[in-house]
Amino acid sequence: MRSSASPAARSSSTSSSRVSRAVAWVGGAVLRREPYRLLFPLGALLAWAGVLPWLFFAFRLRGIYEPVTGVLAYRSFLHPLAELDGFLGCFAAGVILTALRPPPARWQIVVAAVAPLISATCAAIGQWQLGQVASLALLAVMLQFTLRRLSRPLSPSLLWIAFGFLMGAGGAAVAEVAATRGSSWFWVHEMGRDLVIQGLFTGLAVGAGRVMRTGDRAHP
């Protein structure tokens, strides 16, 4: 049976529907229900931001990045933090905030989107230690969001996540102190950086992996 609505009425209805969807998106209803729509593309952009300087360097396209060499600082700082805090951070936050219910608050989505940007920006200008404050804040928000939605008893293996948190915070603090002591403390600075890049991620990965195991209630 054909619809009795005129083409003009159908066009008006379609336009109204599009406007409603746009309003819902801008108002945050869609983003609260599906935060990955924002966080996954943002993570992909940050991943490319970390990879492109190395690609330009490998293909000897120095003329492309030469104007911003001073901003990029030392590439080995930008690359791992853009990948870990940026790409993996956005991806993990997108999965967690989308999969668990009830949905996140708007401020939690804002933290999930802004913290990786701050970390990558600080790494790009050579102040990566300061960027770890934002990364640790994001981790704290994700832990609070997740733990409040768990229906089963907490696993002792969550201690690994606490260890990872301590290694990340401690590594950033050690590196910040070493940066003020000159070149003789460079090895200490590198140790702090490794605690952030490897220690934090290792603690999170081991803790999350053991929590997902069945029957993991006795040993951390």
Give dist(CA 142, CA 214) in Å, integer. 22
pLDDT at 95: 83
pLDDT at 23: 47
CB atoms within 10 A of CB 180: 8
Q: Would the CA dihedral through 103, 107, 109, 111 be positive or negative?
A: negative
pLDDT at 117: 93
Domain positions in the chain: 31-151, 152-220
pLDDT at 206: 77
Low-confidence ranges of the chain (pLDDT < 70): 1-28, 65-77, 151-155, 157-158, 208-220
The two structure tokens encoding residue 66: 């030469």
Backbone torsion region of residue 182, taken as left when φ is above 0, otherwise alpha when ψ lies between -120 and 50, otherwise beta: left
